Amino acid sequence: MKQGGTDDEWRQFPLWARGPARVIGDEVVLDESRAEEYPMEVTADSKDLVLQLAHMAADWDNRDPRDIVTFVRRNGLLWHGASDLGTGECRESLSEWWEEARLIGLLLSLYNDLVRATSNSPTHYLRDCIGELVGFYGAELDADDEDADEDLAEVASLYLAEALTERLESCGVGVTSSLGLALNIREPDYFLRAINAPDLVTAAYVTLSGIIVNYAPMMECLGCGRMFVQESGKQKYCTKSCASTSRWRRWKERQDAQ
């Protein structure tokens, strides 16, 4: 089988824009005059996009709009890209940002709990996450869903799939010839499925769906408590920096205890 892409897919994304931003009222506003255009694409590090969004809503009672400003400087707005520069429309509602960040965090948590539940771990802790996700949509758990803990994994799986499918509705799917792509293999009989995300938030959900479909291992960082995708089974910290900080903290505690 010819190999030129990931799972024979070519993920295409529009030209996007990122740069300095500030919060004005209940909106985050990109400084269009100082923004830079860049080709938005899925890379090996694209999971960071998902994790950054999830982390900013992890402590729901202490949300900080400055986290959104930092995200926009690194990645851009969620729905307005390069084509919107110069229009004065590069501004987005903070409440909509928090909604997407919270949902992505819930879906990551539910996936992590589901993996643990299917690895012979107790399933009762799935109930809280399912309840929060269902409540997010303004619904309630059905009576049948509350009957037995052994059914929770099935309920979680269905809700996870439905929530992701809903968020990927605007993502187009097509077919592209390898001849039009910058691949190692470019042959007339080599085609790839093309996934086209119209904006940054949809790109994040494409990446999240990849994490789930590929059964990527997740765990909670022993240093900062944030969830991350493990690169290997031995990885216990989300970054090398977090691991170093944790080691320094433990050393400092030992010194203070002497």
pLDDT, tens only, 159-217: 889 889 999 999 888 887 878 766 677 788 777 777 888 999 999 998 888 888 876 66
pLDDT the model gives residue 80 = 97
Give me the chain's average pLDDT, please.
Answer: 80
User: Which of 133-142, 189-198, 201-210, 219-228 has maximum average pLDDT?
Assistant: 201-210
pLDDT at 183: 63
Question: Per-residue pLDDT averaged across 43-60, rounded?
Answer: 79
Judged against a pLDDT cut of 90, whether residue 101 lies above it is answered with yes
Q: Which two tokens stand for residue 133?
A: 């996700």
Angle between the N-to-C axes of helices 94-117 and 126-136, in degrees from 0 to 180, rounded to the nearest 10: 150
Residue 219 has pLDDT above 70, yes or no: no
| 3 state SS of 76 | coil
Q: Supply 249's token pair.
A: 């903290």
Closest CA to 67 of 100, 23, 16, 19: 23
Q: Which span out of 10-19, 59-68, 194-203 was modeled with the highest average pLDDT?
A: 59-68
Which segment of 11-15, 51-55, 211-215 scores lowest on mean pLDDT?
Answer: 11-15
Q: Is residue 108 a contact partner of residue 81, using CB atoms and an 8 Å limit? A: no
pLDDT of 128 over the 90 cut: no
Which pTM was predicted? Answer: 0.77
Residue 156 has what pLDDT?
82
Higher model confidence: residue 207 or residue 31?
A: 31
Interaxial angle between packed helices 152-167 and 200-213, expressed in degrees from 0 to 180 and rounded to the nearest 10: 150
Give the pLDDT band (50/70/90) at residue 233: low
pLDDT for residue 72 = 97
Residue 6 is predicted with a pLDDT of 47
Task: Say whether pLDDT at 146 is over 50.
Answer: no
